[in-house]
Chain A
Amino acid sequence: MSVSPVDLPIPKDGKLKGSIELADQGLSKAGRVKRRLTSRRATFAALIIAVLWTTPTFGLLVSSFRPAEAIRETGWWTFFSNPALTLDNYQDVLLSSSQSSPQLGAYFMNSLAIAIPATIFPLVIASMAAYAFAWIKFRGSGWIFIVVFALQIVPLQMALIPLLQVFGTILRPGQEFLHDIIPSIPEQNYLPIWIAHTIFALPLAIFLLHNFITEIPGEVIEAARVDGASHMQVFIRIVLPLALPAIASFAIFQFLWVWNDLLVALIFSGGTQDAAPLTQRLAELTGTRGQDWQRLTAAAFVSLIVPLIVFFGLQRYFVRGLLAGSTKG
């Protein structure tokens, strides 16, 4: 892998653009015309791809604001010749308390309650392990690190059945015990999902953070060590603040992954309002009420809102995290 993150041009975007403009000026007139022609065709192709890629999502957005009747009978594109807007669908899926309504409020809370701890736990544990692999010298560290890296690719599916059994024998009695003491904590709680997500996130998190933490100049850490700082002090005072950008970008990544996950939720949540996330509810709705289009559209958009906000708001960090993972691996 010849590409190293140092060469990535994101931070020096401006500088690059400048040099290209200079190059353009040096070109002959014919060259410039030719270049513009090919780029016009390329722009057209790019436009087509962009439209193809956006249309499905746009269709869903439009549909979610149309009356139930209209969604069932006509395509969403007829909206433009015959506009009719309503917020009923959203009201129905979010606020209605009738039995048949999806009652997404509780599931929305569950998604949040799962995603936030399931982002924090692996990050803390992984950054500690990554620090140890990078700056504490011990025999076999290289090999253990490679094993951890390789675990990244063990399919989730392989771990699910035995992990469920482990949870059943160890966690389950504890949960029932808790439920007996504090009845407002349901028997089926988030603990198994948190632990499962934490475990599944660790290999990638350790690997990415390790890459970043090894880049910290050794002199800084050695100087602190010579001054008598313990590993804990070095870790908290020096490494964590310096690694913050990497931690932030992985946090976004992990949050989206947990929020969007269905498989882990299906197996560990129990599927009730107590702990099941939005994705699971949505999957249920597509299965059992495939014909309730108006509810499906609004429910889908409710589930998209949070990832889309995270994505558009923090896009820069998200992209940086992806790049850190892929140009190194």
Chain B
Amino acid sequence: MTTADLIGKIVQVAGGLAIFAAVIGLILFIVDKAPKRSRDYFQLAAFIGPALILLVGGLIYPAIRTTSLAFFNRTGDPVGFENFIWAFTQPDAVRTLVNTVIWVVLVPTVSTAIGLAYAVFIDKSRGEKFFKALVFMPMAISFVGAGIIWKFVYDYKSQGRDQIGLLNAVVVAFGGDPVQWLQTGPLNTFLLIAVMVWIQTGFAMVVLSAAIKGVPTEQIEAAQLDGTNAWQRFRNVTIPGIRGSLVVVVTTISIATLKVFDIVRTMTAGNFDTSVVANEMYTQAFRANEPGRGAALAVILFILVLPIVIYNVRVLRSQKEIR
């Protein structure tokens, strides 16, 4: 990187920010000076317009385009449902779908369970904040960084040489033979899932920990006076008290898991039967030059997420009514 490059980059950022500030400032200024009669409409348009234009142009239109793209092949001829048939019949593509289902079942349940257990264990203990930070830290790490971190756990060296991967070192120390973890299916999918669990547990833990603290102490005390043990109190008082947060944690992690891309991309690139829908979609659309197939996979992804959207919208509407 030369100094000229550096200056060029700084100029770009400063220029971008300045132009943005000028545009927004101008919009607000003009609206403020707009004729009194129709002022309210101008103001509404100014406040909501930029967001709506971006959303329509950047999300709604592309989503519709993608949906239609899924019905064409690479030369642009309409092929009906062929791309979807491909996704549900080709062994490789089916493998991808099955893997995605495994991911979306395992990651939310395991990370929520561990996160909840951890939150309960360290609740009110000394050094709670410190313990929280330790488990929460992976949330701040990029998936790519996580991939590299975990390479040092899953690395394989042939038998007889010193293992530099932690997992194989443990296996060898107990007298076993080193395993090519990431090349061995179906084990490798579960090992990638472990990385995602490692990242998401912190999120579950922090949210659930706050929810646990929100359970009224009177209820817990009352249960205590009734002679219940810790497990019964947890099962019958704490869990119902945090049900709302539990649902949110599970749905949020599920959505994140459905979209998982970076972990698979950096650790195996989807080889050795580890691909998931989001990764395969990228491979098909941008590597294999099959945008139709990529689009079909994206549509499948959207349909998988749809139930969660509908559920969330219903919750949102009931909240709005309360308000």
| Alpha-carbon gap, A142 to B319, bound state (A) | 12
18 contacts between A and B (CB under 8 A): A3-B242, A8-B214, A42-B121, A49-B118, A53-B138, A75-B169, A116-B13, A117-B16, A155-B278, A158-B302, A202-B54, A230-B39, A230-B43, A266-B282, A300-B149, A304-B142, A307-B140, A307-B142
Contact string against A for B residues 204-246, beta-carbon threshold 8 Å, 1 for contact and 0 otherwise:
0011001101100100010010000010000000000011110
- Listed residue (A142, A144, A161, A296) with the most chain B CB atoms within 10 angstroms of its CB: A161
* Cβ-neighbour of A1 out of B67, B169, B315 (below 8 A): B315
Stretch at the interface among B78-86, B88-96, B254-262: B254-262
Beyond A158-B63, A300-B145, A307-B140, 12 additional contacts (C-beta under 8 Å) are A2-B243, A57-B149, A59-B149, A105-B1, A149-B313, A157-B297, A158-B301, A231-B43, A279-B262, A304-B145, A311-B140, A328-B319
Closest Cβ–Cβ distance, residue A214 to chain B (whole Å): 7
Closest-CB distance, A99 to chain B (whole angstroms): 14
Task: Decide: A329 near B315, CB < 8 A? Known: A56-B152, A75-B162, A260-B141.
Answer: yes
Given A23-B217, A132-B47, the answer on whether A3 and B244 have CB atoms closer than 8 Å is: yes
Bound CA–CA A227/B155 (angstroms): 69
B187 at the interface (CB under 8 A from A): no
The smallest beta-carbon distance between B66 and chain A, in angstroms, is 5
B265, A129: Cβ atoms closer than 8 Å: no
Contact call A232/B137, Cβ cutoff below 8 A:
no
Interface: A212 (CB within 8 A): no
A327, B211: Cβ atoms under 8 Å? yes
Which one, A74, A155, A307, contacts B164 given CB within 8 A?
A74
Asked whether B166 lies within 8 Å of A20 as measured between CB atoms, the reply is no
Residue B22 interfacial (CB < 8 Å): no
Assess the B55–A203 pair: CB atoms within 8 A.
yes
Contact check, A162 vs B13: say whether CB atoms are below 8 A apart.
no
Q: A132-B48, A138-B44, A185-B8 are in contact. Are A53 and B134 (CB under 8 A)?
A: yes
Q: What is the chain B residue whose CB lies nearest that of A103?
A: B1
Residues of A in contact with B (beta carbons under 8 Å apart): 1-3, 7-10, 13, 16-17, 19-20, 23, 27, 31, 35, 38-39, 42-43, 45-46, 49-50, 53-57, 59-60, 63, 71-77, 103, 105-106, 109-110, 113, 116-117, 120-121, 124-126, 128-129, 131-133, 136, 138, 142, 144, 146, 148-151, 153-163, 165-166, 182, 184-186, 189-191, 194-196, 198-200, 202-203, 206, 214, 230-233, 235-236, 256, 259-263, 266-267, 273, 279, 282-283, 286-287, 293, 296-297, 300, 303-304, 307-308, 310-312, 315, 319, 322-323, 326-329
Among A23, A129, A308, A310: residue with most chain B CB under 10 A: A129
Would B298 and A155 count as touching, CB distance under 8 A? yes
Known: A149-B316, A159-B59. A60 touches B149 (CB 8 A): yes
Measured in the bound complex, the distance between the Cα atoms of B221 and A35 in whole Å is 13
Q: Given contacts A49-B118, A184-B11, A185-B12, is CB(A262)–CB(B143) below 8 Å?
A: yes
Q: What mask results when residues 30 to 53 of chain B are scored 1 for a CB within 8 Å of chain A, else 0?
A: 011000000110011011101110
Q: Is the CB of A198 within 8 A of B54?
A: yes
B102 close to A (CB within 8 Å): no
Q: Is there a chain A Cβ closer than 8 Å to B171's Cβ?
A: no
Contact call A279/B308, Cβ cutoff below 8 A:
no
Q: Is the Cβ of B48 less than 8 Å from the Cβ of A133?
A: yes
- Asked if A190 and B214 sit within 8 Å, CB to CB, the answer is no
Contact at B134–A110, with CB atoms within 8 Å?
no
Instruction: Chain A residues near B110: list those with CB within 8 A.
Output: none
Encode B282-305 as 1/0 by CB contact (under 8 A) with A.
Answer: 100110000100110111011001
Taken together as a complex, chains A and B put the C-alpha atoms of A31 and B220 apart, in Å, by: 14
Lowest 3 CB-CB distances: which A-B pairs, in order? A199-B58, A260-B142, A311-B140
Q: Cβ of B101 < 8 Å from any Cβ of A?
A: no
Interfacial chain A residues near B294, Cβ < 8 Å: 157, 161
Chain A residue, CB-CB nearest to B20: A121
- Of B10, B31, B259, B309, the contact of A156 (CB 8 Å cutoff): B259
Query: Do the beta carbons of B58 and A322 come within 8 Å of each other?
Result: no
CA distance A7 to B50 in the complex (A): 34
On whether A131 and B39 interact (CB within 8 A), knowing A57-B149, A158-B62, A202-B55, the answer reads: no
Indicate whether A232 sits within 8 Å of B28 (C-beta atoms), given known contacts A136-B47, A296-B148, A327-B207: yes
Max count, chain B CB within 10 A of own CB: residue among A148, A149, A184: A184
Instruction: Determine if B51 and A206 form an interchain contact, defined as CB atoms under 8 angstroms apart.
Output: yes
What residues make up the interface of B, taking CB atoms closer than 8 Å to A?
1, 4-13, 16-17, 20, 24, 28, 31-32, 39-40, 43-44, 46-48, 50-52, 54-55, 57-63, 65-67, 69, 114, 117-118, 120-122, 124-125, 131, 133-145, 147-153, 162-166, 169, 198, 201-203, 206-207, 210-211, 213-214, 217, 221, 224, 230, 242-245, 247-249, 251-252, 255, 258-259, 261-262, 265-266, 269, 278, 281-282, 285-286, 291, 294-295, 297-299, 301-302, 305, 308-309, 312-313, 315-317, 319-320, 323
- Is there an interface contact between B65 and A153, defined as CB atoms closer than 8 Å? no
Q: A155-B259, A157-B281 are in contact. Are A43 and B140 (CB under 8 A)?
A: no
Report which residue of A153, A158, A182, A202 has the largest number of chain B beta carbons within 10 angstroms of its beta carbon. Answer: A158
Report A-chain residues with C-beta under 8 Å of the C-beta of B295: 158, 161
Selected from B133, B143, B152, B213, the residue in CB contact (under 8 A) with A315 is B133
- Complex Cα distance, B265 from A55, in Å, reads 23
Closest to A199 in B: B58
Whether B43 contacts A232 by the Cβ 8 Å rule is yes
Whether B4 and A319, one on each chain, are in contact in the complex, defined by CB atoms closer than 8 angstroms, is no
Please report the C-alpha to C-alpha distance between residue A146 and residue B255 in the assembled complex, in whole angstroms: 18
Residues on B with beta carbons closer than 8 Å to the beta carbon of A282: 142, 144-145, 148, 266
A166 to B62, CA, bound (A): 9
Q: Are A279 and B142 in contact (CB under 8 A)?
A: yes
Q: Are B207 and A329 in contact (CB under 8 A)?
A: no
Contact A56 B301 (CB under 8 A): no
- Kindly state the separation between the CA atoms of A195 and B50 in the bound complex, as whole angstroms: 12
B47 and A146 contacting across the interface, CB-CB below 8 Å: no
